[in-house]
Structure 1
Amino acid sequence: MSGSVGLTKGDWTEYFTDDRKKYYHNKKTNSTTWDKPLEFKSTEELAATPCVWKEFTHDSGRKYYYNSSTKTSVWEEPTEYKLIRDAQEIMRQKNGEPEIDDKPAPMSEKQKNAIFHQLLESKLVTSTWTWDMAMRAIINDERYGILPSLSEKKASFTEYVTNRKNHEREEQRKKTERQKEALFDMLRNCEHARPGASWRKVLSFIEFDPRLNPFTPQELPGLYDDFLYIWEREQKEQAAQARKENMQKLLSTFQADKTITWESVWRQVKAEYETNAAYQALDKNDRLTVFQDYMRDLERDEENRKRAEQTNNRVRSRKNREAFRRLLLECYQDGRLGLHTKWKDFQESIKSDERYLHMVEPTQTGSLPSELFGDFLDELEETFMKERKKIKEIVQELPVEFSVKMSEADFLAAISRHQLYQSLNPRFHSAFYLDFMDHLAEEEKRRVKAIESKKKHAEERFLDLLYDAHVKPATKWEEIRETISEKSAFQAIPTEEDRLRLFNDFVTVRHTEYEGGDREKRHKKEKKHKSHKRHRDDDRDRRRDDRKRRASHDRRSSSPPAEMEEGESRIE
Structure 2
Amino acid sequence: MVESNDWVEYSAKDGRKYYYNKATKKTTWEKPDELKTKEEKATPWKEYVAKGGRKYWHNTVTKETTWDMPDELKKGPQQPAQPQKPVLPTKTNFATKEEAEDAFMKMLEAEGVESNWEWEQTMRAVINHPLYRCLKTLSERKEAFGKYITQKKAIEEKEYLAKAKERREKFYEMLNEVTITEYTRYNKVAKLKADHPAMNAVTDLKERLEFFEDYMGDYHEKIKERRQKSFELIKQATESILLDLPNIQVGTRWDDVKKHLFEADEIKKLVDDAKVNNPVEEYFAKISILKAFAMSMERLDKEDYEKRREAEKQNYRKERVNRDNYRELLREHLSAGNIAPVTTWAEFYPLVKSDLRYTNILGQKGSSPLEMFWDEVELLNEEVYDCRKRLESDLKAAGIRISHTESLDGLKEILKSSRIKVQIPDNVLPYVHEQLIIKAQRKYQDEVDRKERHKKRLLDDFKYELRDLSPPLTPESTWEDEKKRISKMKIYREIDDEDSAMLIFTKVIDRIKESSRRKHSRSEPRTSEHRSSSKRPKSGENKEPLDEEKSDCQMEEGEEPQ
TM-score relative to the length of structure 1: 0.47
Larger radius of gyration: 2
TM-score relative to the length of structure 2: 0.47
Q: Does 1 or 2 have the higher relative contact order (CA < 8 Å, sep 6+)?
A: 2
